[in-house]
Structure 1
Amino acid sequence: MRKIGVIGLGHVGSTVAYTLVTKGIADELVLIDNNDAKCTAEFYDYMDSLPRLDTSTKILKQNYSDLADADVIVTSFGDIKALAQGGDRFLEYEFNCKQAKEVGIKLHEVGFKGVLINISNPCDVITGLLRYYTGLNRRQVFGTGTFLDTARMQRAVGMALNQNPHNISGYVLGEHGESQFTAWSTVCVQGKPIEELAEEVGLNLGELDNAARGGGWLVFNGKKYTCYAIATCAVKLVQAVFSDSRLVCPASVYVDEFKCYVGYPAIITKSGAEMAMPLPLSAEEKEKLTASAKMIRTKTEEGKGRQR
């Protein structure tokens, strides 16, 4: 029995839930949202799809006690009004710090012991706050982090070189936000280091890094939200937990060196996420990662202080 909860049914959460239902990934799905009318609407929309699906999912709503025995919970709450201003994921900081406390305490009270995957922004900070308030261990709680940003980098490089993005390996590291960066020393195209390829064909890596960083805003500016790519990332992480696949991917994971959550390669297992082997980064890349993590740690501690 694969039981999953989705907390927050905005554009992202509802897309995650829809995917879990239509792909038959969830045997049981619990829906939670502050807007009861929205949650009820999504509930019946999913229920009405079940007679035409090849799989079946038991769907429950608006009861935290139903999450006590969930295997995985995906948090995707957010402040649509703040986000509508665009340009900065920290626009949701105040609202989501409060939400993290409320949700985390409720999950602690019902005795949730599974794996929690956070999407809510600013992703790394909110992931840290959710771990703090749930009392779960650092492996059990992780975020989507730079998993999506890495996909955006793969897309940008693939388009520049007329390559399938699956042929591009490597990582975007740091904050899921403005201080993120592509660790070009880790990036290869069909096994060839991109830094070598860039010299040969005249690639501007700075422009490609900006394309990855700005990919979310490119989508947001056109439709005022993003949903499909991030939902795809979250669902892939859910599947990795269920299959105990030991998938290595960049997620928002707790890094002891920095004492906070930050985008870094992680191994996804049935128990959650753990850091992968340390990357041989360049001195410049290490400096960027340290600076990004420092900002995340500061904002996470501020978030705790604001809720006391």
Structure 2
Amino acid sequence: MALIRKIGIVGQGHVGAHVANRLLETGIPDELYLCDINERKLAAEVQDLTDTLSFYPHNCAIVGVGDEYEKLAGCDVIVNAAGDVLSSAKSRDGELFVTTDIARTFVHRITDAGFQGIWVSIANPCDVIATEIWRLSGYDPKRIIGSGTALDSARLRNVISQHTGIDQHSINAYMLGEHGFSEFAAFSAVTFGGKSLDALTAEQPERFGFDRADANDHAVHNGYIAMEGKHCTEYSVASAACRIVQAVVSNEHYVTACSTLLTGEYGHSGLFASIPCVIGANGVEQTLPFALTDEEQKAFDASCAHIAGNIERLGDWWRSESRVK
């Protein structure tokens, strides 16, 4: 009997709906369970996606379950896209209290219903919410993946591609730390076919000697070009989430930057932040930290301090309600 792939999505706003569509376009799920507290919006999305089934690679059962979160317990992967995009208009920290409050309404219910799959969280602030899911559920942190800087790393590769003319698929480059304004590009580890950016800059400065600070700034802030124009980002983050889901359900052992619980990497523990990870059926199967320059280490320290500061803003509830032992 063929394996039935079951994917759940919590939240059917701009991003959640695009995640659903992108998953169906890539043919990943056999059953797709959609949650949202707005019944009319949920019904509309289910209808629109169902009407599109003839154009997707294969059939899929699309089920709207409202706020009956327990029905997601049998899913292989749950994508958390619940939030309020307008609250993040100026900063991803803007959703801090909104998204944590929302997470508290469903994480324990799904956990108590027996969920044993993988969490992929894209709600912002991404690293805090991934940490929150861990605290609320007491779940194996390796089975909780924050999309983190997977998208920002793609933005960095895009910027480098524009400067150098090298196809972005052929560039290895990562943004590290927070999915937010404190993240940074680890230029010391950027490579093209195994050759470092530093080496190529020395050989061909006119092509590879671009302004790195400017490139870093674009990778950090380019999402807000979309925000200013249409009050959301949707295609890119949905594609990043879908790529992680695909790596899980196909057990790919895919390497990407994403948010995972730090357990000593770069001197930090106890919170989620983005470093290169190997993604497979068990979630984050391995972390792949590489050597940072002194300047990059300071940037990573500052980014983790920002994430920790946001966690502290949540107050005593955070500690009192934790299931983590």
Q: Out of 149, 171, 175, which is 2:174 matched to?
A: 171
Matched, 1:294 2:297: no
Please say if residues 86 and 231 of structure 2, whose CA atoms lie closer than 8 Å, have aligned partners that are also in contact. no
The within-5 A match list for 1:220-235 is: 220-235=227-242
Equivalent of 1:192 in 170, 195, 204: 195
After superposing the two structures, state which structure 1 stretch, 112-121 or 16-25, moved more.
16-25
Q: 1 CA distance for matches of 2:284 and 2:57?
A: 31
Deviations 1:210-246 (A, max 9, x none): 1111111122112111011111111010010011111
Amino acid at match of 1:77: A
Matched residue pairs, number?
306
TM-score by length of 2: 0.90
The answer as to 2:259 corresponding to 1:252 is: yes
Q: Residue 267 of structure 1 aligns to which amino acid in structure 2? A: V
Instruction: Name the counterpart of 1:102.
Output: 105
1:209 aligns with 2:216: yes
Which residue matches 2:79? 74
Q: Does 1:262 align with 2:273?
A: yes
- 1:38-117 counterparts in 2 under 5 A? 38-61=41-64, 62=66, 63-83=68-88, 86-117=89-120
| Pair 1:18–1:141, CA change in 2 (3 A) | same
Matched letter for residue 98 of structure 1: D
Q: Which residue is 2:288 aligned to?
A: 277
How far did 1:134 drift?
2.0
SS across alignment from 2:128: helix
Question: Is the contact between residue 253 and residue 275 of structure 1 (CA under 8 Å) also seen in structure 2?
Answer: no
Answer yes or no: is 1:17 the counterpart of 2:17.
Answer: no
Contact 1:254 1:275 in 2 (8 A): no
The aligned counterpart of 1:140 is 143
Deviations 1:278-305 (A, max 9, x none): 2111111111112211221232244363
Residue number among 175, 183, 186 corresponding to 1:183 in the alignment: 186
Per the TM alignment, residue 193 of structure 1 is displaced from its structure 2 partner at its CA by 1.6
Q: Quote the residue 1:238 is aligned against.
A: 245
Q: What is the CA–CA distance in structure 1 between the aligned matches of 2:197 and 2:221, rounded to whole Å?
A: 20
Compared with structure 1, are the counterparts of its residues 218 and 269 closer, same or farther at alpha carbon in structure 2 (3 Å cutoff)? same
**RMSD, aligned α-carbons:** 1.6
Aligned residues of 1:152 and 1:212 also touching (Cα < 8 A): yes
Give the structure 2 partner of residue 128 of structure 1.
131
Structure 2: which 5+ runs fail to align? Answer: 321-325
Question: What is the distance in 2 between the residues matched to 1:298 and 1:103?
Answer: 24
CA deviation profile, 1:51-89 (whole Å, cap 9, x unmatched): 444411111112322211110000011113323xx2211
Deviations, residues 254-292 of structure 1 (Å, cap 9, x unaligned): 111222100101110101114423211111111111221
C-alpha distance in 2, partners of 1:277/1:22?
A: 31
Offset of 1:306 from its aligned partner? Answer: 4.5
Unaligned runs of 5+ in 1: none
C-alpha distance 54-264 of structure 1, shift in aligned 2 (>3 A): closer
SS of match in other structure, 2:236:
helix
- Alpha-carbon deviation of 1:135? 2.1
The question of whether the paired residues in 2 share the 8 Å contact of 1:248 and 1:276 is answered with no
Task: State the AA in 1 paired with 2:71.
Answer: D
- The alignment partner of 1:26 has SS state of coil
- Larger mean CA deviation between 68-77 and 281-290 belongs to 281-290
User: After TM superposition, where is structure 1 displaced by more than 4 Å over at least 4 residues in a row?
Assistant: none
